[in-house]
Amino acid sequence: MFLFHTRSLLGKKFCNVHLTIMARRVTRVLNVAEKNDAAKSLADVMSGGHFSRREGYSRFNKIYEWDFNLLNQNCKMVMTSVSGHLSNYDFVGTYKKWHGCDPVMLFDAPIEKKVMPDFQDIKRTLEREARQCKILVIWTDGDREGENIGYEIIDTCLEVNHRLEVYRARFSEITPRSIANTCRNLGPPNRNVSEAVDVRQELDLRTGAAFTRFQTLRLKKVFPEVLADSLISFGSCQFPTLGFVVDRYKQVKNFIPETFYKIKVTHTTDDGSVDFNWKRHRLFDHTACLVFYQICMENPLATVIEIKTKPKSKWRPLPMDTVEMEKLASRKLRITAKETMKIAEKLYTQGYISYPRTETNMFPKELDLRPLVEHQTVDPNWGAFAAGILQHGPNPRQGRKTDNAHPPIHPIKYTNGLSGNDGRVYELIVRHFLACCSQDAQGSETSVEIDIAEERFSIQGLMIIARNYLDVYPYDKWYAKVIPVYQQGEQFQPTAIEMVDGETSPPPLLTEADLISLMDKHGIGTDATHADHIDTIKSRNYVGLTSDSRLVPGELGIGLVDGYNNMGYELAKPDLRAAFESELVEVCEGRKDKDTVRREQVEKYKRVFIEAVQKATRLDEALSEYFGTAQAYTADETQQSHVSLPVRSCPRCGNPMVIKTKKDGGFMMSCTGYPDCKAAVWFPPSVEHASLENITCTECQPGPIQKVKFKFKRGSVPPGFPNEYIGCLGGCDSTLTQELGFNLSYLRNDTSTGNRSGATQRNSGQTRQQGGRGRPGPVSQDSGYGSSYTNSNSTNSTVSRTPGFLPTGRQRTNQRGPGGSGGSSGGSHTGWNGSEPATPSWNNRQPLGSVTSMLNSGSADNAIVCNCGNDARILTVRKDGPNCGRQFYKCAGGGCDFFLWAESDADSAPSGGGGDGGGFGGGGFGGGSSGGTGWTNGNEGQRPNSNVWGEVVCKCNQAAVKRTVQKEGQNKGREFWTCPKPRESQCGFFEWVDDAGSSAGTSTGYGGNSGFGRNASFGGNTNRGQKKNWQDRQNENMGNPKKRKITCSICHQEGHTKRSCPQR
């Protein structure tokens, strides 16, 4: 018993090992179809109906398995599917948002192709199955879109298994014979075809998004009552399609009928009455026709001068391609092209018809049509006709078009179980196929020509001899026409000779079939996309249908076409898109590079878009004819609608940086990658307007970097400086940073994103002084500051600028400042000097230099103006003291606290050490009690937390904004200063406006008792540019360290807080 049990175990173990070895020899093949129905049909055909089914992650896409011999290998076939395109292109970051950027930036914005959220389960299924397989076979449709979907599948699978062998299955019908032939001829996928689709998708995304956002956002504001809830879309195929409808409508509307005249001869016999047609057809001159009529009436005898009889044929239809199927279904069955394609795809996946997306109208010689005709012999309606075809053999009429991928549309197998439109479309395809394989209808045509007074008239009769294909094809009509029998030379008296008139008539409005013909003729879209474009213009209400199913444009559709035509850009004409479609064909054939085509086409549409935005009022004018008076854009809205081209690429993240208008006024240059990237340049308040110039900086690298034109407010720039200036924000323009106070700190390295602008050079050092430690902002070398500054950690950093780059590395020097030491407690200076100064913040920009040059300049634009914008008043200090006799500027109306010293002696400008305080650098500022320079605010007119321009600054050295308390309570309606940044990034600065006003008269400027001198040397607590906290500001009131007492926010009494307030 034990021996038997042991043998049994050994036998089972041997069998398991044998099965494992055999399993290892079986190759797993992953097959992926475009849709689940196709996957199921393919599995059924290839397995002979013997397959198993299991679930994938997507409940709509099953997995089918069976054993099969493929590529001379025993294979385990795993068949699954996608649901059309697995991935699509989309913008990244802020570009996805309608208000995230100027629409013109979408032409250059970064895009990515990624799996759509709804198809993540399909992706997971593909990844799981691909890991276990050795071979991948793509069974998607054989058109361009199918090839692109195939590459989406390939990319997904190769990400998890790069060793996969990839094959492409090309087939036109799901039949055993066709699939077996396909398996024997597997080949590589065609990347050129897929790339052509990528180019088309990218162009459609960029042009569609840019124009759609522009149209929708603008027209909603111009016509809010009509278009407030409308999406006014644009497409480079959609618009030419709309253009065809509008053009035909205008032809009908603008048609002017003309009266014409002709002569009609009637002859009545026992065989009936016939009308002879005048050989001149018709005349538009009444008098001329009347003359010919009178001549005929003078001698009305008719003579038969010619009788001709010839065979006449009515040709059977060509094999059916996609365009013909859509047109026939629309004309004969009254089924839209969109629904027709949907039904045809369903019939294809069910195995009833061949692939419905084809441009071929000729059957290949190797395709045996006899079995296809035999399947139809059992039908009671057309079975007898099919049997008759087999007696003579199928003889299809051949066309001239082929896509070398799929044969014409034809039935695969017979069914009588279809109903509704499905059955009607299937019947159309079967009857068309049988008619194509039959014979032309045969007839005999007789022409009789007569002469009356040397004027010729004729008539034609038709006798049908053999109907042939007409017996099975009721969609064509051919009627016989019986005429009397005439003999050569016979004469007869006409029953009547009349001069009749009529009017020319306009062409009819387009039907859907007519529109498809025009799209196909002019190359708009493909056979697979015609229906989608027509459906789009219907759903957008650009066009509608009349009672007889003809297309008529709506008011919005006409207005859009007219508006763009008035601009001079015929976007509604087919030429632009047709040229693009022809280039896509060349990309498919490998004759053109996809990147070149994409770049050229994007640039072409971008130029059109830019000029269209500039001429947008013509769009408003065109639509106002239908929607009433257009609401005028405000100045701000007009400015916002102007195209904002990128100034440069962000040195941190690579996204474009553009000029924007701040919410509270003013301008800035910011990165479009916000909020992921916060690189920005906040322009000084002195900038009244900023615009991009078409000038590229030749110094800054990497480029290109466009220069910007700045217009400054009156009196806000240094004396002699022009009110308009063109500068570069790439770092090479020292005038912007040193004279105008632009802060280009965005060029500094960012540890999270890296720096793409160039190298960075850092110098560091220490300063030991008896004063307190601080971190003043960077200063200018030529202003007497020196080139070092102290931070809160007693480390000095000096940035050395090269055009377009950031300084890198560290260079340490240990030397005494060039200006020596000043004062008894100035101390020594151990600093780090750089070749150029770091860029100062605009909030800490240098004050105006000596006013002497300004007074002598005589420039009205550079007059001294106060914070109110009015000319300042010049006064003289009369009070005894160190400043007695000095002149200063003050607000003439008393409306603001503007104050500025006006030095009359140029020698008093800051060019050396000063007073008994310590000088700093090569041109240190005077300090001590007798300090003071032409740059200081002195002892009056300044808040302790304001800059030299009278602006209240927050902790981050930016101009604070004034807000009003809205919350119910004691402080409701009270105004306060706070940080201008968004709430999440504010520095915490807060100050009541009425409290700030009470501290006026103190000074944190340069000179006086708080300048760079004995008590406030560089590095001290009151240095310019230092980031101070709230307590520091309260303690720096002219050297008085008195702290502010605690005040209750409820009763406003000192000595307690709101928590212990008795009124609480």
Distances (CA, A) of 1001 to 280, 865, 898, 951, 955: 104, 20, 11, 14, 21
Helices within 967-1006 (DSSP H only) = 993-998
Q: Are 516 and 338 in contact (CB under 8 A)?
A: no
How many Cβ atoms are within 10 Å of 784's Cβ, its own excluded?
27
d(CA 298, CA 300): 6
Burial 35-58 (b: 16+ CB within 10 A, else e): bbbbbbbbbbbbbeeebeeeebeb
**Tokens 């615009």 identify what position?**
691
Angle between helices 191-222 and 616-627 (to 10 degrees): 60
- Report the alpha-carbon distance of residue 358 to residue 354 in Å, rounded: 10
* Peptide bond connecting 704 to the previous residue in cis, omega within 30 degrees of 0: yes
| Angle of CA points 203, 207, 211, to nearest 5° | 170
Rounded Cα–Cα distance for residues 1006 and 936 (Å):
5
Q: How far apart are CA 722 and CA 710, in angstroms?
A: 10
Q: What is the dihedral of CA 595, 600, 602, 608, to 10 degrees?
A: 180
Give a three-class secondary structure readout of 363-383.
CCCCCCCHHHHHHHHHCCCCH
Q: Which residue is associated with the tokens 């906290």?
A: 1029
* Phi, psi at 167, each rounded to 5°: -130, 155
User: Which of the residues 355, 469, 605, 1006 is marked catalytic?
Assistant: 355
- Buried b / exposed e over 308-332, threshold 16 CB at 10 Å, is eeeebebebbbbbbbbbbbbbbbee
Quote the DSSP letter at residue 335. Answer: -
The encoded tokens of residue 106 equal 């979408």
Tokens of 396: 């299809």
* Residue appearing with tokens 């045509």: 445
Q: How far from 585 is each of 144, 196, 518, 529, 788, CA to CA, in Å?
A: 10, 8, 19, 15, 63
User: Can you tell me the distance from the alpha carbon of 848 to that of 898, in angstroms, rounded to the nearest whole number?
Assistant: 14
Of 979, 974, 983, 982, give the one whose Cα is nearest residue 961.
979
Contact 1044, 1034 (CB under 8 A): yes
Can you tell me the distance from the alpha carbon of 396 to that of 401, in angstroms, rounded to the nearest whole number?
Answer: 14
Strand arrangement of the beta sheet that strand 259-269 belongs to: 491-492, 302-314, 441-452, 455-466, 272-278, 259-269, 496-503
In whole angstroms, give the CA distance from residue 910 to residue 924: 7
95 is catalytic: no
| Catalytic positions | 355
